[in-house]
Structure 1
Amino acid sequence: MLLFLTAVCALASCTYGHVDVGVCPTFTDKADFDPVPYLGRWYEAQRFAAFFEEGEDCVNAIYSDLGDGVVGVRNVGRSVFGDVVEITGTAVLVAPGVLSVQFPGHPPGDYHVLDTDYESFACVYNCDVQGNLRVQFAWVLTRDMNPNEATLERANKVFAKNGIDVSFFHRVHQGDDCPYVV
């Protein structure tokens, strides 16, 4: 089955995340999203499985203002081999709560901010249908390296309210042993 799903994704030119049979839920982006207070470092607290992050921990994203409405995106993590891995790209706000993110060598992808308070949590999601399969990407980002349970519960409620199954989330290790880049 995994070989079949990999072949489907390869044929559809997708990088797979959580793949299952179904349709994408109807979700709502944050209508009053403002990229300026969103800038800075966010720690990945929870995520759905994503091929491009397989086995990584200590993942964080640093967003910066590049001017002219362009946001710099720098994702940094630690591989299963202990190496620092990173990718740098750009994002542009294309609709309220929706950014188009571009990394070198990859097609642009939508980055839907479902909700954020800019100070403690952000809920990011994307879903795409390939035939009768859906490919979902979801992240709970937090400003704190190790957020409290109330923050995670608040974020999970946002996903659940949007019809997204939070049981697909798994925690991402963050800690003093992580090689955070300045």
Structure 2
Amino acid sequence: MAGGITAIAVLLITDIAMTWAQVPALGPCPEIETMQGFNMQRYLGQWYEAERYFALFEFAGKCVNANYTDIGDGRISILNRQMSSLTGIRSTIEGEVRLIGRTDESKLSVKFPSLPVLVDAPYWVLGTDYENYAVVWSCSNFGLFSTRNAWILTRSRHPTLEIMEKAYSVVDKHGISRAYFIRTDQKNCPKMLY
């Protein structure tokens, strides 16, 4: 009986964490068009998080970055790194990115096998020039409500205003609210050796 209660508690906590890990909204996910002619090979490499919607799994995270690597057989590895601004502890999580549709579509899915519950999270690239910025959107439906998340990624840890304006134009074009964006602290970041 205790095992069953523990399992139910874990599922409830996971559902709550997933719900509050993103911005909740009444109604289903909006229809959002992704980037046409997406090239995953050009997207590979190092990206720094410039801004994000609040996400529980990134709470107090600074120096957030991700590296995408082609590991063959159509599989893409992702290595996310961050440092806690509260404790200074560095953390990493490895996952796998896969294409959902055609190879030229930017509808991707991300899975992190080390998490207690395996979930394929939507990861849609709405726009990128591959060399400076990328705007990523995620939305999950939960019946009467949905949870939404967005990221602005840049190739530079400290992007110029011009680069951010290009990213904002993608955000605005898709009707995504800028009100929920939080700037990611990329100052005084140690050289992360993992």
1:38 corresponds in structure 2 to 43
Is residue 152 of structure 1 aligned with residue 164 of structure 2? Answer: yes
Give the conservation status (yes or no) of the 8 Å contact 1:58–1:179: no
Report what 2:97 is aligned to. Answer: 91
Alpha-carbon spacing, 1:78–1:66, altered in 2? closer, same or farther (3 Å) = same
After TM superposition, the structure 1 = structure 2 runs for residues 92-171 of structure 1, keeping only pairs within 5 Å, are 92-95=98-101, 96-104=105-113, 105=115, 106-171=118-183
- 1:12-69 Cα shifts (integer Å, max 9, x gaps): 9656211233442221111211111111100000000011111101000000010111
Which deviations, in whole Å up to 9, do the C-alpha atoms of 1:98-140 show, x marking residues without a partner?
A: 1121101331111100011000000100112323322111100
Change (3 A) 1:153 1:44: same
* The 10-residue stretch of structure 1 (41-50 or 157-166) with the greater mean CA deviation from structure 2: 157-166
**Cα contact 1:9–1:15 (8 A) shared by 2:** no
Distance 1:8 1:29, change over 3 A: farther
Q: Which runs of 5+ in 2 are unaligned?
A: 1-11
Instruction: Look up the match of 1:60.
Output: 65
The structure having more radius of gyration, on CA atoms, is 2
Question: What CA distance in whole angstroms lies between the structure 1 residues aligned with 2:16 and 2:89?
Answer: 30
Q: SS at 2:167's partner residue?
A: helix
CA 1:20 to 1:176, structure 2 compared with 1: closer, same or farther past 3 Å? same
Whether contact under 8 Å (2:53, 2:181) holds in the other structure is: yes
| Cα distance change on mapping 1:8 and 1:81 into 2, 3 Å | closer
1:12 and 1:78 map into 2 onto residues whose CA distance is 20
Aligned with residue 69 of structure 1, among 65, 74, 78: 74
Deviating more after overlay: 17-26 vs 114-123: 17-26
Deviations 1:123-158 (A, max 9, x none): 100112323322111100000110011111211121
The CA distance in 2 between the partners of 1:20 and 1:163, in whole Å, is: 14
In structure 1, C-alpha distance between the alignment counterparts of 2:44 and 2:169, rounded to whole Å: 23
Aligned equivalents of 2:87, 2:168: Cα separation in 1: 30
Please report how far the alpha carbon of residue 179 of structure 1 lies from its aligned counterpart in structure 2 after TM superposition: 4.2
- Percent identity among equivalent residues? 35
Question: How far apart in 2 are the matches of 1:72 and 1:160?
Answer: 30
Tell me if structure 1 keeps the 8 A contact 2:17–2:56: no
